[in-house]
């Protein structure tokens, strides 16, 4: 059973207002419920003996399993990596970003472009196969992830993440996100994968 994390709105969160944040949290709660229901269904009458690639209950559950679980994980990473006030990447983060993107400001430009190009998520990820960071673009929770990587910085680009507050001003949402990144959390995530 997956337990929901109770993220709370605080003054440190400047990327979205309380109303937008709370609407988004309700959506996250829905994904937690969904993955628990799917897990339960997979343990019960899942239609496994009828499995095929065209349609059916088992196939629907398998599609839903990765969609809902990634929905939970990516939202948690997103809510954890906002609310920062430091403004600057930590030492290891700056070093790795500079190594893989030339310099921090080039990375900013590339990440912002990745966000603008994404229908679902923009993620700074550590690609373990190439031992380097990449800005990757996901069109949905289960579309675009690298098979073997660690999400380091996660930005929700679904319209539900910003539309209530920003309407179609996506660029302003992205800019305010970039100023509200919790770099301490990012440094911790990267350190974990570099040990």
Kindly list the residues in this chain that would bind Fe ion in the complex (CB under 5 A): 156, 158, 161
Q: First-to-last CA distance in the chain? A: 30
Q: How far is the CB of 75 from Fe ion (least distance, A)?
A: 6
Nearer to Fe ion, 111 or 158 (CB): 158
Q: How far is the CB of 1 from Fe ion (least distance, A)?
A: 22
Nearer to Fe ion, 25 or 96 (CB): 25
Of all residues in this chain, which one has the CB nearest to Fe ion in the complex? 156
Q: How far is the CB of 156 from Fe ion (least distance, A)?
A: 4
Q: What is the CA radius of gyration of the chain?
A: 18
Q: What 3-state DSSP class applies to 131?
A: coil
Cα–Cα nearest to 85, from 189, 182, 195: 182
Q: How far is the CB of 145 from Fe ion (least distance, A)?
A: 16
Q: Which residues contact 133 (CB under 8 A, 6 or more apart)?
A: 96, 97, 100, 101, 124, 125, 126, 127, 152
């Amino acid at each position: 059973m997956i337990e929901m994390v109770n993220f709370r709105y605080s003054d440190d969160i400047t990327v979205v207002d309380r109303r937008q944040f709370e609407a988004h949290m309700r959506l996250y709660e829905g994904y937690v419920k969904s993955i628990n229901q799917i897990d339960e269904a997979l343990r019960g009458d899942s239609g496994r003996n009828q499995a095929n690639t065209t349609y059916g209950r088992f196939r629907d559950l398998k599609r839903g399993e990765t969609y809902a679980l990634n929905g939970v994980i990516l939202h948690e990473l997103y809510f954890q990596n906002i609310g920062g006030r430091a403004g600057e990447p930590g030492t290891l983060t700056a070093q790795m970003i500079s190594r893989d993107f030339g310099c921090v400001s080039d990375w900013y430009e590339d990440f912002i472009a990745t966000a603008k190009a994404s229908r679902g998520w923009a993620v700074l990820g550590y690609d373990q196969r190439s031992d380097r960071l990449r800005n990757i673009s996901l069109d949905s929770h289960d579309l675009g992830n690298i098979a073997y990587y660690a999400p380091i910085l996660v930005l929700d680009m679904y319209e539900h993440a910003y539309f209530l507050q920003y309407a179609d001003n996506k660029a302003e949402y992205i800019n305010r996100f970039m100023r509200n990144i919790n770099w301490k959390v990012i440094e911790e995530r990267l350190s974990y994968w570099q040990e």
